[in-house]
Amino acid sequence: MITIPGAVAIEGHTDSIPYTGREFTSNWDLSAARALAVAHELFADRRVNESRFTVSGYASTKARVPNDSEANRARNRRVEIIIERGQDEQALPIQARPDGDTEGEPLSPRDIF
């Protein structure tokens, strides 16, 4: 992941059973904490560029399978790491007009974000 270019999303998920423990107030908190725990482990390696990452909790809103059995609920309790490999930044150069206006011209991801 260190050498693969692109934005990285760390997404935490839960099943649909409401959280009833004392450490978190809801499945939203639990899913965010799961994602953040993974992020902290990755960020322990100083070679990881933290600015490439987003960390999100989705609770039970993005289930992989129906929450209709214990086995399926277990599959929905997860953390996903998604690497979005965009187009090569050199592929979409800014083409400025003589007056400096770039409206309607292609931009690189670096210029947008």
Residue whose tokens read 């992989």: 64
Kindly state the average pLDDT of the residues 60-69.
Answer: 98
Q: Is the pLDDT of residue 93 over 50?
A: no
What is the rounded distance in angstroms from the CA atom of residue 55 to the CA atom of residue 12? 8
Question: pLDDT tens digit string along 11-52?
Answer: 999 999 999 999 999 999 999 999 999 999 999 999 999 999
Which residues constitute the domain of residue 29?
A: 7-112
- In CATH, what number is assigned to the domain containing residue 52? 3.30.1330.60
What is the rounded distance in angstroms from the CA atom of residue 4 to the CA atom of residue 41? 18
In a domain, 2, yes or no: no
Residue whose tokens read 């908190």: 29
Q: Is the pLDDT of residue 91 over 60?
A: no
In a domain, 44, yes or no: yes
Residue whose tokens read 């692109």: 6
Count structural domains, the chain: 1
pLDDT category at 111 given cuts 50, 70, 90 is low
Q: What is the CA radius of gyration of the chain?
A: 19
What is the rounded distance in angstroms from the CA atom of residue 76 to the CA atom of residue 31? 11
In a domain, 1, yes or no: no
